[in-house]
Structure 1
């Protein structure tokens, strides 16, 4: 039995129990009510609206695709429109530093604080000015991010999106992480529709009641479809997700496209949370789309061909199964960029003119004052908990390198895992890199920073795995295919107590060795030996991995909970006033064998 004496401190309230009661006022305002505290209200009656018709259910469809009405194709009402797009905000309503964490005084002094809802609203207002026919779209993953999301459970983001005046959004995989009930509450708090076409909600009636499979924007005759990644069932542990069917996007979306044209839509656009490359594949399998507003892969597309961070043009042109052009856009993540498109269409809905770009939300972009005050009022509710410095780092710890190899942040987390799980007799540590959602900067580390690294309710657990299961996990992590069944592995793993020989770029895995005693990865004189396939190893990992998440393991395994990852890291940092995690060299890049 694991000693639980140091599992939960007051941080359990901070991380595990921070929830707000939510209501909707008589005039449409969202009420955020902390336990035994007065209501916090922000009146939405004066919030800007871009919908010409107030009651948004118009030409909408409900449930599993039953049409609200059918009619002949109607003429396009507005031929010159501007569309503003965001994706993968992940709860970043406050500004953040380059590592994705909460800004501190040093970041502000160095002008390194970027993005946030106040800058986003300033940019939205500029883009709206002089363009009366402007639509605002979001491609999902509003959920899971800094302490603000953990504290409000998505309701702060709902509030912000209502004030800005979004037209529609689709669902990302992280919208499901907190379970169906919280997702339904979030959607009910919005004053615009959520469109997702590739869900079978037969066994999730509460979600079925609030998610639309298709939608025609009132006053525009523009149809919308939406879709999310079919991997959601594997990468989200939210309660009730197992009752949802995630359908092949191309087939499901095509059905809704055809129905939209039957119902009078002149043109159809898609909101995607499926990734840049997957969007191009979907376009090739469908017909009738004109634009895809993308998300999920956090891809920066740029109209500047010399932009070193760009992964493609903004917009990217793909061709549907009839050879017609479809334009795809995406704007990185966290609201660091806001994308927009100006387009002119003819009476048939064909795009005759198109231009746009992704606008960086740097420190020099002004923050809209009323939104800034709102975000600060949100933050003040948890600053007393989240603002306290508990440790200092002597090194920057970016999260991005952890996706392909050894990293400072991953090694810090594994040190924390070893510290809290040290009395379990564990042989090694492994966990999925994507469980870390933000990095840590050189300087002070607060509880809010910790919550930014681990915004989800994932836990440190003890599991028992055979050497064969471990070797297959490491091989699948390097090659992105699980050797046991050939299925896709969606995460690179961080590991401690082992030495890996691989080449991630070449999708090649050579071998894994284990060092004894536990933790010998830091000792370069250690004798490394091969994993024994039939031996059972004690492994410190995450409940997400143990439950089969990201398909790191071919099947789920039993496990014993130890502590929330956020609590684990906070406890470790409290006990280590200064941290300087080293790189041990236990992930060795090797050349794949030559192909003759």
Structure 2
């Protein structure tokens, strides 16, 4: 191992790892400010495991970061005779909720007040983390694409944020832009690839004498639920890569925290799968918002996977900054001996003045633009999550019809249910309403499919209807019948295009958004099409133009989609 010195405040370490070794002893050295000699602070025994840190760029990058983090953050943990305390605060499923929701509850300004209160109470022995998905879900997020959210998180002082899936919705380069804006690391242990993302595989910190290792699981289904660009990345086996990473720091870390962005079922399964993890902080899945700590009475209503023998705690805060999770850990002789957990509702707390000043600035910039009226809805337009992912809705029909109207050469318009994020109430329709429905700013694409490929696409659309998957298609220009009681891949019973039976050998022109056209939501079959044209027109513009031309809209459910098994 070769060490080279750079004249900075701290000595940076560069490694030429010996070949064919499975174990490397890394001497961490710190430049003394008062002498020319290097003082060896400690020795960190790092196990080089091929499944995580292969020799080459990824190994060098990750290892270098871990060592630098230890050098900058390491303190000698001498308090083995008494108990040390650590508090972990976390947000889950943030989704652009910089401001309070429609009910007036939530927002980062209130979160900031709670964080300051807990820091004062604990003498600053606090870690503050976010389990991912800061983008998409509000008009503010759609308009400013996460910039004010990152700025507010900087003001509050977050320690780490997991990459979920929506961080990639505007592409890899935009995720990297946000990462550069943040004063805290973006984290993912199971995400590797050829891009120089600046994303940490681990965050190692020492807080009040307690060494803490933070790892993260990015959604294992990343390719299917966000930008097709992510296919250039490699999502490693989550359990294997995290377990190896935990073992690698076991001689150093007193507390190991895992941030996750996957289903609640997968989170609870980890309680009896992973060894050496003290706290799991969940994200991604709506529904369960609670806590489990070792030793609590067994609750049979909890998801499968938890048992009285589980040694890890698991928490998940309510979505949209309605509450912040707090976990207090007691550490004695380098081991976690006790944990307590609760969710703190933000309602009733005064806004943090500095954060509130920032949010008010962005609110003012947004207001005039969003209030511009473009049409009138004679009926309520149904964009409810469960509906657009399982049945035909009038808003789904309106969106699909707008696509075909904007591109009349197309035979069929498709809108994936997962891309419809809100309803529109009866009354005036403003630009803000459209941004709530289509927050991503996807461009519209046309291409040709054969009848055989079209049938395969419809099968994919109904293949996960039981799970409420976003791949369910709202349609224009065709009608189809399916039976969800049949096996996935064989559920479509009949298809008509423009009132005529589907011809497998015929060519049909499709218009849809660039997300599913690029293979998102499992529509790999779309990438097999021909004559692709990216129109560079945004989905919000196409829908807005259609509504403006119509003036008043009153779409209906017309039996375009029939489910025999419902």
TM-score relative to the length of structure 1 = 0.72
Distance 1:301 1:506 in 2: 33
Say whether residues 1:350 and 2:336 are aligned partners. Answer: yes
Residue of structure 2 in register with 1:537 after alignment: 508
Residue of structure 2 in register with 1:326 after alignment: 312
Count how many residue pairs are aligned between Structure 1 and Structure 2. Answer: 487
Residue of structure 2 in register with 1:8 after alignment: none
Distance 1:289 1:282 in 2: 9
Select which of 363, 380, 388 maps to 1:395. 380
Distance 2:493 2:443 in 1: 25
Residue of structure 2 in register with 1:93 after alignment: 98
1:110-189 to structure 2, matched below 5 A, reads: 112-125=103-116, 128=119, 130-132=121-123, 133-189=125-181
Residue of structure 1 in register with 2:358 after alignment: 374
Q: Which whole-Å deviations, capped at 9, do the CAs of 1:511-556 have from their partners, x for residues lacking one? A: 3534453xxxxxxxxxx65432222222222222221112124361
Secondary structure of 1:159's counterpart equals helix
Residue of structure 1 in register with 2:553 after alignment: 579
Distance 1:472 1:284 in 2: 38
Distance 1:315 1:78 in 2: 33
Say whether residues 1:273 and 2:261 are aligned partners. Answer: yes
325-334 vs 73-82, greater mean Cα deviation: 73-82
Instruction: List runs of 5+ in structure 2 lacking aligned partners.
Output: 1-43, 47-58, 293-298
Q: Which whole-Å deviations, capped at 9, do the CAs of 1:421-467 have from their partners, x for residues lacking one? A: 2x21x322222211223333343332222223222231222221222
Select which of 298, 316, 329 maps to 2:286. 298
Structure 1 residue 82: deviation in Å? 3.3
Instruction: Note closer, same or farther for the CA distance 1:514–1:411 as it changes in structure 2 (3 Å cut).
Output: same
Structure 1 residue 174: deviation in Å? 1.9
Instruction: List runs of 5+ in structure 1 lacking aligned partners.
Output: 1-58, 98-111, 305-310, 482-487, 518-527
Distance 1:417 1:555 in 2: 17
Select which of 66, 77, 87 maps to 1:82. 87
Q: Which whole-Å deviations, capped at 9, do the CAs of 1:376-422 have from their partners, x for residues lacking one? A: 2112223332222223333153431212222233222123212212x
Structure 1 residue 147: deviation in Å? 4.0
Distance 1:255 1:73 in 2: 24
CA RMSD of aligned residues (A): 3.6
Structure 1 residue 65: deviation in Å? 3.6
Distance 2:428 2:288 in 1: 30
Secondary structure of 2:382's counterpart equals coil
Structure 1 residue 268: deviation in Å? 0.6
Say whether residues 1:471 and 2:420 are aligned partners. Answer: no
Equivalent residues of 1:94, 1:375 under 8 A apart: yes
Structure 1 residue 175: deviation in Å? 1.5
Equivalent residues of 1:303, 1:314 under 8 A apart: no
Instruction: Note closer, same or farther for the CA distance 1:575–1:94 as it changes in structure 2 (3 Å cut).
Output: farther
Instruction: Note closer, same or farther for the CA distance 1:391–1:404 as it changes in structure 2 (3 Å cut).
Output: same
Structure 1 residue 204: deviation in Å? 1.9
1:32-51 to structure 2, matched below 5 A, reads: none
Residue of structure 1 in register with 2:61 after alignment: 63
Residue of structure 2 in register with 1:213 after alignment: 202
Equivalent residues of 2:272, 2:310 under 8 A apart: no
Q: Which whole-Å deviations, capped at 9, do the CAs of 1:26-84 have from their partners, x for residues lacking one? A: xxxxxxxxxxxxxxxxxxxxxxxxxxxxxxxxx99982345415999876897444322
Instruction: Note closer, same or farther for the CA distance 1:265–1:128 as it changes in structure 2 (3 Å cut).
Output: same
Distance 1:458 1:365 in 2: 37
Say whether residues 1:383 and 2:359 are aligned partners. Answer: no
Equivalent residues of 1:62, 1:213 under 8 A apart: no
Structure 1 residue 504: deviation in Å? 5.1
TM-score relative to the length of structure 2 = 0.76
